[in-house]
Amino acid sequence: MRALVATLFALFAALAVWSFAVAPAHGWAMPENVATLGTSVDELFGKIQWIVGAFFVLTVGGLAWIVWRSAQGGGGARSALASHTKLEVLWTVVPGAILVWLALVQIAPWEAMKFSSSIPRSADGKPKPPLCEVWASQFDWRALYPGADGRCGTGDDLHSPYELVVPVNEPVVLALHSRDVIHSFFVPSFRLKQDILPGRETLVWFECTKPGTYDLLCAELCGWGHYKMAGSVRALPRAEYEQFLERKTRELSSNGMEDTK
């Protein structure tokens, strides 16, 4: 039994290490990061992975080893030590120092992601106005680009259902809105997630660094259709982005009426 239990714990430790080590090769890791702010997330993740890995192997591996080495049945114990002050100090101070360090290094990237003082600035030094409004409702996404008047919520808004189109390689600010319950704007490839509360505007910002189409998911339970609240984000070079807006404007005028689709 002793050998079985020790093997069980050792195998568990090996399996856990393996599951993280091979994750990228199997698509079990975070998808490729394509946003500037995501870099710090991946860096922090990697650092924590080393800390977690070291303590995990030390403690679970240690447990397996202790069980393996333990005396059994009638044999006496080698140690009846009940406490040891130096050891207690050691395993309080060392992890404590690592944790304090970890608590501090997360502050700057968090500030860059979520503090309103970090909203990207335009050339005039003022916070960049939102590129568009993103409206979430049960169970779809809709991007609303301002028309010729430069404002949303007027008759000439350009609608893009299910697909958000953004220019690549420049900071983008979005204004998130909900029509009904709480939804959450989640783009894994940007490392970006933000809940959207009904009745208020929530700003998010990012800079996508690679043209492409990325999944947009709803990450907050919003009702029976939560699972199918899928959308996408298409990142285009500036010129193609302008073409997209032009096409949308043409669609709007050719209909001769407000595009409600």
Q: 9 or 145, CB closer to another protein?
A: 9
User: Does 225 participate in binding another protein (rule CB under 8 A)?
Assistant: yes
Name beta bridge partners: 231.
216
Give the residue with the Cβ less far from another protein, 4 or 239: 4
The alpha carbon torsion through 146, 149, 150, 154 (nearest 10 deg) reads: -40
Among 25, 27, 123, 153, binds another protein (CB under 8 A): 27
**Please, what is the minimum distance in Å from the beta carbon of residue 19 to another protein?**
6
Q: Residue 39: name the closest of 208, 168, 205 by CA.
A: 208
**How does strand 140-145 pair with strand 132-137?**
antiparallel
Q: What is the dihedral of CA 19, 22, 24, 27, to 10 degrees?
A: -70
Residue 86 touching another protein (CB under 8 A): no
Contact mark string toward another protein, 181..220, x via CB under 8 A: xx-x-x-x--xxxxxxxxxx-x------------x-xxxx
Please report how close the Cβ of residue 65 comes to another protein at its closest, in angstroms. 10
By CB neighbour count within 10 A (0-12 exposed, 13-18 middle, 19+ buried), where does 140 fall?
A: middle
Site for another protein in 35-64 (CB under 8 A): 40-41, 44-45, 48, 51-52, 55-56, 59-60, 62-63
Minimum Å distance from CB 109 to another protein? 4
CA dihedral 203, 32, 237, 219 (to 10 degrees): -30
Assess 91 for contact with another protein (CB under 8 A): yes
**Sign of the alpha-carbon dihedral angle for 184, 188, 189, 191:** positive
Q: Which of 23/148 has CB closer to another protein?
A: 23
Would you count residue 229 as binding Cu ion (CB under 5 A)? yes
Look at residue 147 and give the partner it binds from Cu ion, another protein, none, a contact being a CB closer than 5 to 8 Å depending on partner kind: none
CB 210, min distance to another protein, A: 15
Contact between 226 and Cu ion per CB under 5 A? yes
Interacting positions 230-249 with Cu ion (CB under 5 A): none
Q: How many CB atoms lie within 10 A of CB 205?
A: 23
Fill in the per-residue mask, 178 to 217: x = in contact with Cu ion (CB under 5 A), - = not in contact.
-----x----------------------------------
The neighbouring-strand residues paired with 232 are 163, 215
Dihedral in degrees, nearest 10, Cα atoms 159, 164, 169, 174? 80
